[in-house]
Structure 1
Amino acid sequence: MFNNAPLVQSSAIYVALNALGFLISVVTGSHLHLDLIGTGAFAVASIPSLLSSTCSRITLSAASVTIWGTKLAGFLFFRALKLKTDFRLEEMLSSTSGTAVFWTISFVWGLVCSLPHTLGTTSSAEGNPITLAIGFGMYALGLATETKSDFQKWIFKQNNPGKYCNDGLWSVSQHPNFFGNLLMWTGILVMNADGLIDTSRTDEGILATLYGSRRLILACLSPLFLWTLFSGQANGDMTSAVELAQKKYGNDEGYLRSLELPKIVPNVFAWLKKLFT
């Protein structure tokens, strides 16, 4: 029932692309390709299963990852070309060792974050139509939230240079794009949940159940990892983004109002209202 070859193939793609990104950074001294390669790796790694699988669950999951990876990598690369630099990462990328750390983190992010899909490709089980529908619905809402919040912030910054964005979805959460991404990957986890459980074992007992669910348990590391990563960034524990925002927007009314908002997860009704208006 399970075949680990697709998982090995995806892992090899993440290794190769992040190693390529590191080499380009070291040789050229440019970092404009960070998101193009780091985020684009998700799309590249999911294409083989998209093209070769005959399982509708895997095809839907692969298409979902490919669409998201292509969309986000394209947007972030466009933004990098316009802005030329990312002040949050300047210090880290100023040395070869710091650059190596960045690309190592990028590899770990890709490998762990994609577990719901990559582990899902190891099973040929079609999955439950209900969990597929629920998971895809969560994915679609998450993708829409991330896309709209990124677009709103970009437009706001173009029209209001030097101002803190508190427009649209940014008025209900300090980081609505983080929330969208987390919801999206949780949706992909739900989408693949049934395919991650080994139902071939007939022995009883909690240990047998846990062993049969080992892929599902491992796939749960994806949203847990993302929550840890996003919380660390939102609290200023992992990057200097919070400190830089305080220095840049300390007296901005929009920034001061944003401090009263949830850091990541917004009020459900406020979020849905802003998403569909």
Structure 2
Amino acid sequence: MGTVLDSHFLALTAIVTVAYQFIFFVITALFKIDQVTDFAGSTNFIILALLTLILKSTWHFRQIVLTLLVVVWGLRLGIFLLMRILQWGEDRRFDEMRGNLVKLIVFWTLQAVWVWTVSLPVTIVNGSDGGGSLKPADVIGWTMWVFGFLIEAAADQQKLTFKNSPENRGKWCDVGVWKYSRHPNYFGEILLWWGIFVAASPVLEGAEYLVIFGPLFLTLLLLFVSGIPLLEASSDKKHGSLGAYRFYKKTTSPLVPLPRGVYGNLPGWCKAVFLLELPFYSRNLPEEAAV
């Protein structure tokens, strides 16, 4: 295990991640601001990908491509989220955290774990010799990343435009890709990181396949912890008494984009088992409105 840690920079990337997140934790704790939080997360991915690529200096085509994919994703998301929070002023997710040091510590610790864990496939690839010639898995993974990236970017921009329009004040987003999924941005992010894992798989051997925990951790986090559950609860509390909203929720997939005519006519068990319409996503609806 010591050799693996040295050759794949696992210990180094962990130290860098903790130090980087700690700096921004101190800033948010002292000044009680939200503007740097998402920027700190996305740019940390970029730092780890470039650091491991440069330190190993193998410069295999697979390493360069995967690093570029992380850099493009991180820059796009980091800049978008920074501009959005500067425009909006505050992030409501932190309303209960700004004055609570314990909650802030938990959040920043979780963010550090998220960055380091999800980066594992790229860290392992960049810490190797590159893994030889390209395989079909490379192209499949890159294709998954492209589709995921485009969906996430489109969803983010469409929602921002929708929210910035005065006539949409107080409404839920129901345009573009949001017609087919209640959380298309999360679907895109999950898809692109699974794509990176698939593209990294030709390099993996033995215990290195445990880096699958990276995209798995991201998926579980968005499905059960800080992603969909929080947004569903917030939206249900705001709009749960409206029939149009209940119809939207009943006919729109929570994650995987599908035509409403298809999703709306599926039986409840099928939605729950195959499309992740989990019961606790509707626990904040009025009882007669639960879907």
TM-score (normalised: structure 2): 0.79
CA distance in 1, matches of 2:50, 2:250: 40
Corresponding residue number in structure 2 for 1:273: none
CA RMSD between the two structures: 2.3
Q: Residue 174 of structure 1 contacts residue 259 of structure 1 at CA under 8 Å; is this kept in 2?
A: no
Corresponding residue number in structure 1 for 2:148: 142
Corresponding residue number in structure 2 for 1:29: 32
- Counterpart of 1:123 in 2: which secondary structure? coil
Match of 1:9 among 12, 20, 31: 12
Q: Residue 127 of structure 1 contacts residue 195 of structure 1 at CA under 8 Å; is this kept in 2?
A: no
222 and 66 in structure 1: CA distance in 2 versus 1, 3 angstrom threshold: same
* AA of the residue aligned to 1:261: T
127 and 19 in structure 1: CA distance in 2 versus 1, 3 angstrom threshold: farther
What does residue range 149-160 of structure 1 map to in structure 2 within 5 Å?
149-159=155-165, 160=168
- Counterpart of 1:94 in 2: which secondary structure? coil
Q: Residue 49 of structure 1 contacts residue 59 of structure 1 at CA under 8 Å; is this kept in 2?
A: no
CA distance in 2, matches of 1:167, 1:39: 26
Same amino acid, percent of matched pairs: 29
55 and 18 in structure 1: CA distance in 2 versus 1, 3 angstrom threshold: same
CA distance in 1, matches of 2:44, 2:77: 11
How many residue pairs get aligned? The number is 251
1:147 Cα shift? 0.4
* AA of the residue aligned to 2:164: Q
- Counterpart of 1:165 in 2: which secondary structure? coil
1:103 Cα shift? 0.3
Corresponding residue number in structure 2 for 1:55: 60
* AA of the residue aligned to 1:174: R
Q: Which stretch of structure 1 is more off in the superposition, 85-94 or 148-157?
A: 85-94
Corresponding residue number in structure 2 for 1:45: 48
TM-score (normalised: structure 1): 0.83
1:47 Cα shift? 1.5
Q: Residue 93 of structure 1 contacts residue 99 of structure 1 at CA under 8 Å; is this kept in 2?
A: yes
| 2:135 is equivalent to residue 129 of structure 1 | yes
* AA of the residue aligned to 2:218: L
87 and 269 in structure 1: CA distance in 2 versus 1, 3 angstrom threshold: closer
Superposed CA offset, 1:69-113 (max 9, x none): 111011111111111122233213331111111100100110111
Corresponding residue number in structure 2 for 1:209: none
| 2:222 is equivalent to residue 230 of structure 1 | yes
* AA of the residue aligned to 1:96: L
Q: Where in structure 1 are there 5+ consecutive unaligned residues? A: 198-212, 271-277
Superposed CA offset, 1:166-207 (max 9, x none): 11111111111111011100110111101112xxxxxxxxxx
CA distance in 2, matches of 1:133, 1:74: 27
Structure 1 ranges of 4+ moved more than 6 A: none
- Counterpart of 1:93 in 2: which secondary structure? coil
Q: Residue 123 of structure 1 contacts residue 196 of structure 1 at CA under 8 Å; is this kept in 2?
A: no
CA distance in 2, matches of 1:29, 1:65: 29
| 2:189 is equivalent to residue 189 of structure 1 | no
* AA of the residue aligned to 1:226: L
Match of 1:261 among 245, 252, 255: 252
Q: Residue 120 of structure 1 contacts residue 192 of structure 1 at CA under 8 Å; is this kept in 2?
A: yes
CA distance in 2, matches of 1:179, 1:137: 15
Corresponding residue number in structure 1 for 2:275: none
CA distance in 1, matches of 2:27, 2:243: 38
1:254 Cα shift? 4.9
